[in-house]
Each structure stands twice: as structure tokens, then as C-alpha cells.
A = this chain, B = another copy of it.
């Protein structure tokens, strides 16, 4: 079951964090960018190959201590099919290093089309006769639930049936400043839209509960709104919360800790820029050269792990 495997890895590595691989070109050390442009030309393909090498450098230095990566699809789609190929390559490489993959695509559509997205990211694409192939090796996908249950059901098939080896994280309360514009709207009965979405997450998980008491249906709740996070935490006690917004977006470890349950489980916290750009950060740039961007990422990932574990233990 997806969530049991994720929790096992979190416990084994004593690290409830995920590295967001959102590789803007400006994050990539100049030497690496120039090297790939000179090899592949100043093209989409050159940019995509620089991203791949950068991702591999970070994965190589963190795979033994971080359970999971979260590539953000947009930063690969920007480079067209070359970028999407590198997204698939990054996923495959992280997988080969024993990391799990949450693909951040926030996909959503009506039933038949949601089924195509579920096939692309969680299932197998049928080609002919007995031949099927996996387009991407993701373990879980972020989804947007505005469409309602029949846009979610095709994903649930992969989460709640058979081997239950896949997961989804449904947007509940996002980390951006204006997330309240829709999500905080208050219904006649006093409930907010994000509370209703949280209740749907519960419903969609149903009684498909793994050995640690959690379902494969998680939620996205930003670290930037700790009060709402605590409230959502109480509604969806059986769901894992994916927490974006820690670090560069202004969310603190104490804020992120509010998404955890008293069992010390229940959430996984994402950091992207702070880890990918650690080699440029004032904390680390005197210790590591740009060529050591992977080692700087590891140092920052270690620091984040310790800070977060300490904040979580205060809550227990």
C-alpha cells in the first residue's frame, strides 16, 4: 500500500520531508548550464539536460536520507517534450535510488479525461494486445478537486483497489497568499470550502486504512496557514498532509509541525528552493563551491530534518 511504504521510508530515514524538484534554470550552477549548452546547444534540449544533471546531482547526495522527491510538472513542461522526457528520467533515476515520487501536477478533469491523467501518472498506458507501458513511474499525484467526485474516482481506482500502491494528495488549503479567495468562503452552515474539501478527502479515503492508520488519499495544506492546518488536521486524522510553503515561501518548522498528528506521523513537508539553491545561500555558500551543489543540498536537507523533527517532538 502506498501510504505504508511512504511511512516505512519516513520512519527508516527518520525524516518526514520531501525535496521539491522545481528546477528553474536560474537555480542551476552556471558551470553546469554552460557545459550542457555547449554539449547540446542553447536549446530546449540543452536546458532539459542541464535540469536532469542538476536533479541527479541532488538525488545522489540525498537519496539515503530523504524518503521522497516531488517534481513540479510545470518546470518540465516549460521545455516541451524535451522537458517532459527529463521529468520521466528524473523520476526513474530517483526510483532507482530507492526514493518515492509524488508528482506535483494538480491535474483535474471530468471522468473520462481524469482517467487518462490517472493512466498517465498512476497506471499503465495500453498500447496493443498484451502490451502496456508506464508513461511515468510516480507513486502519487497531486490533484485539484473542484470538479467533484467523478473527476476524482479514476484516481481512486489506483489508490483504493488491488494492490493499493498509489496515492493522491488533494488540494485543500494552498500555501499562496490569495488561497482564501475561494477556499475560505463560508457556506450557509458555517463551513468553509476548504473544510468541505477536507471532508471529501476523508470520504474518498473511506475505510481503506493501512497498518499505521492512514489512507492513500492525502491533502495539500500550506505551511503558511498554521491555524487552518491544525483545523484540517483534526478533520482528516487518517490522511497524510503534504505541506508546501516551508522555507522560501515563509512557512516555519513550527507552522509545518501543526500538520502532524500526536503519533508524530501524518505529514510530509516539502522544501524546494532552499534545498536546490543551498549552494547559493548565505548559510552554506562559504562551505561549498557551486560544483558541490549536491553536498550543499544535503547539508540543508539535514538542517531541515533536524529543525522539523525537533518542532514535531515538541508537539507530542
Contacts and interface: CB of A to CB of B under 8 A. Distances in A.
B174 A147 contact: yes
A150 B104 CA distance: 18
B187 A111 contact: no
Contacts of A113: 22, 72, 74-75
Number of copies: 2
A51 to B, nearest CB: 12
A22 B80 CA distance: 19
Interface string A194-217: 001100100000000000000000
Given A44-B127, A107-B106, A135-B44, A183 B84 contact: no
Contacts of A37: 128
A82 B80 CA distance: 11
A80 B136 contact: yes
B200 A193 contact: no
B75 A84 contact: no
B120 A77 contact: yes
Given A44-B135, A178-B148, A178-B149, A88 B80 contact: yes
A25 B126 contact: yes
B42 A148 contact: no
A178 B196 contact: no
B127 A74 contact: no
Contacts of A85: 80-81
A79 B131 CA distance: 13
A177 interface: yes
A121 to B, nearest CB: 8
Given A42-B128, A179-B148, A188-B188, A77 B135 contact: yes
Interface in A262-313: none
Contacts of A197: 182
A278 to B, nearest CB: 18
A20 to B, nearest CB: 10
A176 B196 contact: no
Given A146-B174, A182-B193, 12 more contacts: A24-B116, A42-B129, A44-B125, A72-B113, A77-B120, A79-B135, A80-B135, A110-B244, A144-B144, A144-B146, A146-B146, A150-B177
14 contacts: A24-B116, A44-B133, A47-B127, A74-B114, A74-B120, A80-B88, A104-B109, A110-B176, A111-B176, A144-B146, A146-B182, A147-B176, A147-B178, A150-B176
The 9 tightest CB contacts between A and B, nearest first, are: A148-B181, A148-B178, A74-B116, A81-B85, A110-B176, A80-B135, A150-B178, A77-B120, A81-B84
